[in-house]
Amino acid sequence: MASKSFDELYPVKDEYDRFDARETAFGQALKKTGKMLQFSSLESKAGRILSGKKGFSLLDYAFHDAAGMYETPFGERHTQDRGNYKWQSLGTAKKYPGVGKWEATPEEAAKAVRKACKFYGAGDAGFAPLDRRWVYSHTRYGKPIVFEDVEEGYTTEEKAVIPESHKWVIALTVPMDLENFMHTPSATESVSGLGYSRMHFLGGMVAEFIRGLGYHAVPCGNDTALSVPIAIQAGLGHLGRHGRLITWKHGSMCRILKVFTDLPLAQSPMAPGGIVEFCEDCKKCAKHCPSQSISNGKRDYQTVSDANNPGALKWYVNAESCLDYWNVVESGCGICFRVCSFNKKPGLHHDVVKWFIRNIPALNKFWAWSDDVMGYGKRVPPEKFWE
């Protein structure tokens, strides 16, 4: 199937406004209760440990907590301009006396940066002109995010400033282990925390590499901008029905980070088509979502919750009912990630199916049906992890 353009895959109305992160489900929870997650206090975790609930033992929590060790610096939830995500040099990048900037064409720069990103641990790396529509208007704490004619990005109590010169974005994926994710929802599922730790490590390293070349970089985790449309524009994958990025290589099993920069980088080609068309037929995530937060129908401009930003044609996920369910299971849920038909270990037979999905979409319904029948994505009891 020929690759479609971004505008064909992700049509956006002219009146689309930058999203305010205070309106996301986490932002709204923060506004209403002062906390993003209701189950994350020490007391609430202790209650589950002492109750003997499977998947929430001391062993599970110790493992979980350690995997998220570098998720956010200094135990903070907010990542913008913190720790390795600092918007200015951490001191590793050197300025060699008498040596100017690294000079290269955008194509050469893209090739070298991609090589470095993969060496540092990225599952994949892609590049696109920075589309400001995806940059939040405000952080979830209410700080305006603005563009100004300055050399380096910075944040103050009043605002977060991205330089006008940062016209390019590097989107990166961090793959996640499929086996550990099969235990979600539970505290045994620790690959999400590990993914966030690796994002933090990778973001800082890529930013310092760019700075070492004589340019500037603003690395971001989940903060500052919407990751999914940026990753699609940078050719890493496509938007799935469950509202997450799906890549051909790692399916839904990846986290996304991004680095804004003034280093000119050639646009990456769009990922091969076929994912959105498969999601139209599959609907497995919608069937298995316990809170019915995922649409069963066609992509629409109609939002389904106050935590959605209107204006794009897509499957809107009810992020509020989703988060409510997290509070019921007292853990991140992730069932839609877990059951996604695109999550497969490497293997020739899976590659053959992907070839069919890309080239003969008429068989999509059969593949989706057989994936569910064969039991892919079924929860594995958390206690099995330790056997």
By the criterion CB under 6 A, which residues form the site for ligand SF4? 240-242, 278-279, 282-285, 289-291, 293-294, 317, 322, 325, 333-336, 339-342
Distance between CA atoms of residues 223 and 139, nearest Å = 7
Q: For residues 110 and 234, is the Cβ–Cβ distance under 8 A?
A: no
In whole angstroms, the minimum distance from the beta carbon of 175 to ligand SF4 comes to 16
**Nearer Cβ to ligand SF4, position 170 or 340?**
340
In whole angstroms, the minimum distance from the beta carbon of 249 to ligand SF4 comes to 14
**Nearer Cβ to ligand SF4, position 172 or 282?**
282
**Nearer Cβ to ligand SF4, position 85 or 248?**
248
Distance between CA atoms of residues 310 and 103, nearest Å = 41
**Nearer Cβ to ligand SF4, position 111 or 365?**
365
In whole angstroms, the minimum distance from the beta carbon of 65 to ligand SF4 comes to 21
- Facing residues of 246 across strands? 238
Q: For residues 206 and 219, is the Cβ–Cβ distance under 8 A?
A: yes
**Nearer Cβ to ligand SF4, position 208 or 371?**
371
Distance between CA atoms of residues 256 and 20, nearest Å = 19
Cα distances (Å, whole numbers) of residue 265 to 20, 120, 141, 335:
28, 19, 32, 36
Q: For residues 64 and 196, is the Cβ–Cβ distance under 8 A?
A: no
In whole angstroms, the minimum distance from the beta carbon of 200 to ligand SF4 comes to 22
**Nearer Cβ to ligand SF4, position 234 or 335?**
335
In whole angstroms, the minimum distance from the beta carbon of 289 to ligand SF4 comes to 3
Distance between CA atoms of residues 357 and 274, nearest Å = 6
Distance between CA atoms of residues 350 and 45, nearest Å = 39
Cα distances (Å, whole numbers) of residue 128 to 168, 261, 262:
6, 11, 12
In whole angstroms, the minimum distance from the beta carbon of 364 to ligand SF4 comes to 9
